[in-house]
C-alpha cells in the first residue's frame, strides 16, 4: 500500500496524446526523493579515467543539447498480472509514458574524460539512499561503453520543455532509450569508470529474470514489445468496466518495443476475430507508435485485446510470461467493454 500510494501510473485516457503530460507520467522511486540544489550540483567523473573531472549543471547545459521523445516503461509494469505476485509495486498496465527529454548525449562526455584501456564498464549512481532486503546502498546501475554508444544515452535536465521535476530526477538524470526504466538513473551524481565488473545492488540483486528463488538470474534490459488501448466509452467508477454505445467506435492506442525496434503490426481481437489496426507513419525511433481501428460495436460483452508485433518478429503473448519478480510482463492488454 505504501509503495502504491507513493508511486503512480499513467492515466490510460492520456494515451490519446503523443506526449504524456508531465503530471500524468508514471513515477517509480525506490527511496525518498532527494531535494538537490541545482546551483551547487556537481556531476563527478571518477575512477579509471585519464581526465577525471567535475561538471556543474551550467557546464553540462553548454554542451550541444538535443530534445527527443522517448517512451519509458518500468520493468515491473504488468506485475499484478503475474501469479503468484511478488511483493513490489502492483502495476497493472500504467507504468509507461512518453516525454520530450532534453539533455546532451553522454558518450562524447565520457570520451572527453578518457576512459583507460583496462576499463570494463561505467557505473552511474544517484543521490538517493536507503535499504532493500536489509542492504543499504545508493541507487545505481552500469553500462558498458558499447551499450552507452549504441543506446543513444542522454544526460537529461529537461522534460517536456521545463526543468526536470524533483520526483523525475532533478537536476540531472540518465535516459537510456529502449531499456526498461531502471537503467535511467535519476539524481545522477557519480559516473565511475570501473576496471572490475559492477556489483551494484540494483543490477546484481534486483532487476534479474528468475525462474525460482535460488536462480542467479539474467539481467533485465531491453523493453519487450507491448501495446495499450485507450479504453473506449465511459467507465464504471469502481470496476473500471467500460460502457459504449452500439455503432461506430474509433479504437486507438499506442504500441512500443525496446532497443530501437519498431512496431510492425497491431491486431485487434473482437469476439475471436482478428483485425489489423492502422499504424501511424514514421514514428520517432524511441517513441511509441499510435494505432487505430474503426470498430462497428455490436451489443453485448466484449474483452478487447490489441497485441503488437515488432520489427524483430516478436509478438505479445496472450498469457503472462513467468518471472519470480513479475518483470517484463508483456501479455496483451485486455479491456472489458459492455456495448448497450
Ligand X SMILES: Nc1nc2c(c(=O)[nH]1)N[C@H]1C(S)=C(S)[C@@H](COP(=O)(O)O)O[C@H]1N2
Report the C-alpha gap between 69 and 44 in whole angstroms. Answer: 27
Q: Which residues contact 56 (CB under 8 A, 6 or more apart)?
A: 41, 42
26 binds, among Mo ion, ligand X, none (CB under 5 to 8 A by kind): ligand X
Interface with Mo ion in residues 27-56 (CB under 5 A):
28
- Residue pair 305/251 in contact (Cβ under 8 Å)? The answer is no
Shortest separation between residue 326's beta carbon and Mo ion, angstroms:
12
29 binds, among Mo ion, ligand X, none (CB under 5 to 8 A by kind): ligand X
Nearer to ligand X, 24 or 334 (CB): 24
Shortest separation between residue 76's beta carbon and Mo ion, angstroms:
5
- All three cell numbers of 167, joined, read 520526483
Report the C-alpha gap between 261 and 224 in whole angstroms. Answer: 9
Nearer to ligand X, 126 or 307 (CB): 126
Shortest separation between residue 182's beta carbon and Mo ion, angstroms:
5
Q: Which residue minimizes CB distance to Mo ion?
A: 74
Preceding omega of 188 cis (within 30 degrees of 0):
no
Closest CA to 151 of 112, 184, 199, 197: 184
Residue 74 sits in the site that holds Mo ion (CB under 5 A): yes
Shortest separation between residue 28's beta carbon and Mo ion, angstroms:
4
Q: Which stretch binds Mo ion (CB under 5 A): 68-76, 79-87, 263-271, 315-323?
A: 68-76
Task: Give the N- to C-terminal CA distance of the chain in Å, as an integer.
Answer: 36
279 binds, among ligand X, Mo ion, none (CB under 5 to 8 A by kind): none
Nearer to ligand X, 128 or 264 (CB): 128
Q: Three-state SS for 8?
A: coil
Shortest separation between residue 309's beta carbon and Mo ion, angstroms:
24
- 40-44, Cβ contacts within 8 angstroms, sequence gap of 24 or more: 41/171, 41/172, 41/189, 42/189, 43/155, 43/172, 43/188, 43/189, 43/190, 43/191, 44/189, 44/190, 44/191
264 binds, among Mo ion, ligand X, none (CB under 5 to 8 A by kind): none
Interface with Mo ion in residues 135-194 (CB under 5 A):
181-182
Nearer to Mo ion, 182 or 308 (CB): 182
Nearer to ligand X, 24 or 114 (CB): 24
Nearer to ligand X, 29 or 160 (CB): 29
Shortest separation between residue 128's beta carbon and ligand X, angstroms:
5
330 binds, among Mo ion, ligand X, none (CB under 5 to 8 A by kind): none
Residue 13 main-chain phi, psi, to 5 deg: -65, -20
126 binds, among ligand X, Mo ion, none (CB under 5 to 8 A by kind): ligand X
Residues in contact with ligand X by the rule CB under 6 A: 25-30, 72, 74, 126, 128, 139, 168, 181-182, 184-187
Number of other CB atoms surrounding residue 75 within 10 Å: 27
Segment holding 305, helix H or strand E: strand 300-305
Nearer to ligand X, 164 or 339 (CB): 164
Query: Given strand 289-297, what is the order of strands in its sheet?
Result: 226-229, 247-256, 289-297, 278-279
Q: Which residues contact 151 (CB under 8 A, 6 or more apart)?
A: 143, 176, 177, 178, 179, 259
Residues of this chain that bind Mo ion (CB under 5 A): 28, 74, 181-182
Amino acid at each position: 500500500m505504501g509503495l502504491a500510494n507513493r508511486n503512480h501510473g499513467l492515466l490510460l485516457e492520456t494515451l490519446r496524446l503523443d506526449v504524456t503530460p508531465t503530471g500524468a507520467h508514471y513515477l517509480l522511486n525506490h527511496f525518498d526523493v532527494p531535494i538537490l540544489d541545482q546551483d551547487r550540483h556537481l556531476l563527478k567523473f571518477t575512477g579509471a579515467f585519464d581526465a577525471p573531472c567535475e561538471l556543474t549543471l551550467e557546464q553540462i547545459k553548454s554542451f550541444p543539447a538535443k530534445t527527443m521523445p522517448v517512451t519509458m516503461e518500468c520493468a515491473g509494469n504488468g506485475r499484478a498480472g503475474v501469479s503468484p505476485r511478488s511483493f513490489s509495486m502492483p502495476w497493472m498496465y500504467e507504468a509507461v509514458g512518453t516525454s520530450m527529454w532534453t539533455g546532451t548525449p553522454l558518450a562524447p562526455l565520457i570520451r572527453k574524460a578518457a576512459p583507460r584501456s583496462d576499463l570494463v564498464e561505467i557505473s552511474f549512481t544517484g543521490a538517493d539512499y536507503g535499504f532493500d532486503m536489509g542492504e543499504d546502498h545508493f541507487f545505481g546501475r552500469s553500462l558498458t561503453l558499447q551499450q552507452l554508444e549504441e543506446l543513444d544515452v542522454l544526460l537529461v535536465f529537461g522534460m517536456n520543455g521545463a526543468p526536470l521535476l524533483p520526483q523525475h530526477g532533478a537536476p540531472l538524470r540518465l535516459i537510456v532509450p529502449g531499456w526498461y526504466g531502471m537503467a535511467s538513473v535519476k539524481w545522477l551524481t557519480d559516473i565511475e569508470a570501473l576496471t572490475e565488473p559492477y556489483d551494484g545492488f540494483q543490477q546484481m540483486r534486483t532487476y534479474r529474470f528468475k525462474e525460482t528463488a535460488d536462480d542467479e538470474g539474467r539481467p533485465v534490459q531491453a523493453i519487450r514489445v507491448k501495446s495499450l488501448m485507450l479504453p473506449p466509452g465511459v467507465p464504471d467508477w469502481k470496476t473500471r468496466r467500460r460502457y459504449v454505445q452500439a455503432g461506430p467506435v474509433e479504437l486507438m492506442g499506442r504500441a512500443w518495443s525496446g532497443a530501437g525496434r519498431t512496431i510492425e503490426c497491431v491486431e485487434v481481437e473482437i469476439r475471436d476475430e482478428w483485425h489489423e489496426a492502422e499504424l501511424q507513419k514514421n514514428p520517432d525511433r524511441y517513441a511509441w507508435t499510435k494505432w487505430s481501428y474503426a470498430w462497428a460495436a455490436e451489443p453485448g460483452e466484449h474483452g478487447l485485446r490489441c497485441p503488437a508485433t515488432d520489427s524483430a518478429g516478436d509478438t505479445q503473448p496472450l498469457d503472462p510470461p513467468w518471472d519470480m519478480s513479475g518483470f517484463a510482463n508483456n501479455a496483451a492488454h485486455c479491456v472489458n467493454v459492455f456495448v448497450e
